Structure 1
Amino acid sequence: MSDDALFAAVMDPANRADPYPLYARLRQRPVSRQRDGSYVVSTHAAIRGLLFDPRLSSEDLPPPRRPRTGNPLKDLILNPIKNRISATHRPFIFRDPPDHDRLRSLVMREFSIARVQALRPRIAREVDALIDTCRGRREVCLVSDLSYPLPVTVICELLGVPREDEPRFQAWATQLATAVEPDARHDDTTRRKIVGAFDEIAAYMRDLIREKRRRPTDDMLSGLAAPGPDGRKQLSDFDLLSTAVLLLVAGHETTVNLITNAMLTLLRHPEQLERLRADPERAPRLIEEVLRYEPPVHFRTRKALGAITVAGETIPKGAPVILLFAAANRDPARFDAPDRFDPDRSDIEHFGFGGGLHYCVGAPLARIEAEIALVALSRRLIAPRLPQDPPPYRPGASLRGPEQLPIGIDGIA
């Protein structure tokens, strides 16, 4: 395989279970031009140097394009208006300063550390309740039994979304998550599905926001929908809508992968699972190493606003750029024995939650959910083991994690 086809191989589902040999080859050239004209950045130093570079834009989503319906009113007037609104008011992870900074600061005010920390007892009760439902079984599926329902329940509670509505938005969220996959976002059929899913979930959130404005409660969505100190809206209706959709989708998608990847790694390193069982205080350190070793997000895409020279390679203006975080997390120039899972590392400067201006807003919550879940699983699953390794993986290469994770057990403690 030639070097300029390596990222295409990363995108191939056949390599989903173990893309790390491909990452090692990509790191041989810190910035590598691929056949499609994109530039893959794969070393720790090169990515760190780009994360705060204003010439690298997050506004790289292709323009939304709603399919023709045959109705002249929709095709010539309504849908072009909707397309312009969607492009202008896209979620803030796809926006640059100053819009990104303004929207992020409003979200961070609602997503406070105090609010997140206050959820600890609630998360612990939910984890125990989910594990209790597995009593009497000799096999559990971590994804469907815990690592999916837990973060969905938590983000619904934080936002003020009725938990019973979750089945309605599960398919929407799964479809919207494909927007971060380079191959999916440029496929016309998938793009239409993404736009359709957004329109449907936006209609749901629009009704919920109206209700929050009529009857506000103590949740994030009510706080974002409330007027500011001057009595004016803090967010335009369109920005509020895209922000609410982003929080609902991103608030659980990456955490599902974090918990699942972490448990899979522990089952592959049973001595570390036993150490966690004996000493739950190891959990935060263990999670940081998982974020380096098997991160929930493997890469994010950007666009060059001007020519950028990195590691001797010039990325031309307008070129797509892929920041390959998971490759940088195993860069031997930055980490000793990077392919070894070692929670006792003294320095874990990883990109597990991205970095720079777009560092994950929900990182503190994801860490808490993973910590509580892993400690409970280590103590309550009796003789856990992998009946299948590798497990089946989700289709996406960016949001990488097992689609299912069967675990054989002798019971529930």
Structure 2
Amino acid sequence: MTTTQTPDTLHRILDYSSRADPYPLYAELRNTPAARQEDGSYVISTYRELMDILHNPHLSSDLRNLSRPMEAVEGRGTQAFINLDPPEHDRLRRMAMRHFGPPHTPGLVTGLEPDLTSTVSSLIDDFVGKEQIDIVDDFAYPFPVTVICHLLGVPREDESRFHQWVNDVINSIAYNPKTDPKEKLEKGQQATKDLRQYLAGLVQQRHGRPGEDLLSRLVNDDGPDGRMTDEEIVATANLLLIAGHETTVNLITNGMLTLLRHPQVLQRLRDEPGLVVPLVEELLRYEPPVHIIPWRAAYSDITVADTVIPKGSQIMLMLASGSRDPNRFHDPDRFDPDRRDNQHLGFGSGIHLCFGGPLARRETQIALTELVHRLDRPKLLADPPPYRPSPVLRGPIHLHIQQGGDG
């Protein structure tokens, strides 16, 4: 059985006009859990089917397995492990994780907590005397950028150099040749080259100079799997630099927006600091930073929800839709930090479960706790706020609030 869904629903989701609230459109998508599109690609939108496919060994993250090449990902050089399959994926992820978390570096995140708290406090100190604040520019962006630069060994003062490159890369991820100008793709491709060239220079500087940052460790440390090549290190650093701050910016900003829309929950967090742990998990379900995995490929013919997906087909995974599936979550459109059994898809699932998830969680927990305690009666100035262009990494581009507001 093959079900063809009207392409209008997906087109409306990808259109910027739906960025502020795509969730009613996700509900439409879920009427057809695995839907063939006009171009021969497939959209998966329900929780059960998403979980099944994320754990399906016949699903490939290596886009060389697509039967029809994708312009948006051509010419990007050595691929990061997120775009590879086992055994290469497992080897490279293991080599990176050796320096990023357990079992070899188990105390990385907890060891960062004093610096995380200090950075957050310093940023909020700068709010004093300001009646209006942009949570994005003044807080949610500089915080994780400072953290990931420190971890990788990227000079913080170079942020102005890579900021636009990252924006252009993110905006090109969901490039649609039918609706988007070719310039959008070309800017993303050039930005990828420029960013990788910049990172390659940093990698070259680390040779023979062991240090504590991740780039130094990857360049100089011989583990059980040996060393990555310089090209593999650049691809890994490129992934971690982008994912290491873009997702956290969105998670913090979406979190503050959600709390301002739910003032009773905001007050609870002030009164119950321990609430922040389940609250962030609910944010990852309710307003996740990553909405879509735009491409996967089928190694062979696979069947999803009675729909046969042919070998080589492009598959789009609508993670945010799955996390609002009423067949999995009770009252899914309600923000409920007391929700039990909250196995959301906010960081994906399976072998590509978000590498930096533990760090992003802790950054967001500290950020939201400090914001709600120290902001003076914050009030939204625009609801909905303006959003970033990308439907894949979704979050406000600005979140203007007023201090000392009513209530």
1:203 equivalent to 2:197? Answer: yes
From 147, 164, 169, the equivalent of 2:157 is 164
The 8 Å contact of residues 175 and 184 in structure 2, kept in 1 or not, is answered as no
Q: Aligned partners of 2:37 and 2:72: how far apart in 1? A: 26
Q: Percent identity?
A: 47
Structure 2 gaps of 5+ residues are none
- The aligned counterpart of 2:120 is 127
Which residue identity lines up with residue 310 of structure 2 in the other structure? Answer: P
Root mean square deviation, CA, Å: 2.1
**Per-residue deviation, 1:188:** 4.0
Aligned ranges 1:104-253 → 2 under 5 Å:
104-112=93-101, 113-183=106-176, 188-228=182-222, 234-253=227-246
Q: CA 1:189–1:305 in structure 2 vs 1: closer, same or farther (change >3 Å)?
A: farther
Quote the offset at 1:91 in angstroms: 1.5
Q: Letter of the aligned partner of 1:4 in structure 2?
A: P
Among 272, 277, 294, the alignment partner of 2:287 is: 294
Residue type at the aligned position of 2:96: V
CA-CA distance at 1:217 after TM superposition: 1.4
Aligned: 1:50 with 2:50:
no
**2:63 partner SS:** coil
Identify the residue that residue 20 of structure 1 maps to in structure 2.
23
| TM-fit CA distance, 1:233 | 5.6
Indicate if the aligned counterparts of 2:168 and 2:191 stay in contact, CA closer than 8 A: yes
1:286 alignment partner AA: L
Deviations 1:230-271 (A, max 9, x none): 8x9611121111111111111101000000001100000000
SS at match of 2:32: coil
Change (3 A) 1:296 1:184: farther
Residue 77 of structure 1 aligns with which residue? none
Q: Do structure 1's residue 363 and structure 2's residue 357 form an aligned pair?
A: yes
1:306 matched residue in structure 2: 300
Shift of 1:189: 2.9
3-state DSSP class of the match of 1:119?
helix
* Cα pair distance change 1:184/1:364, threshold 3 Å: farther
Letter in 2 for 1:375: T
Secondary structure of residue in 1 paired with 2:308: strand
Q: Deviating runs (4+, > 6 A) in structure 1?
A: 63-66, 184-187
8 Å CA contact 2:149, 2:241 repeated in 1? yes
Structure 1, unaligned runs of 5 or more = 67-81
For 1:409, which of 388, 398, 403 is the aligned residue?
A: 403
Determine if contact 1:226/1:233 at 8 Å carries over to the other structure: no
Q: 1:340-370: CA deviations, max 9, x gaps?
A: 0001011101000011111100000000100
Paired residues of 1:184 and 1:190 also in contact (CA < 8 A): no
Q: Which residue identity lines up with residue 387 of structure 1 in the other structure?
A: L
Name the structure with the higher helix share. 1
Alignment of 1:29-108 (within 5 A): 29-60=32-63, 62=69, 83=75, 86-87=76-77, 89-108=78-97
* Conservation of the 8 A alpha-carbon contact between 2:379 and 2:401: yes
Distance across 2 between alignment mates of 1:123 and 1:96? 33
Distance 2:194 2:37 in 1: 36
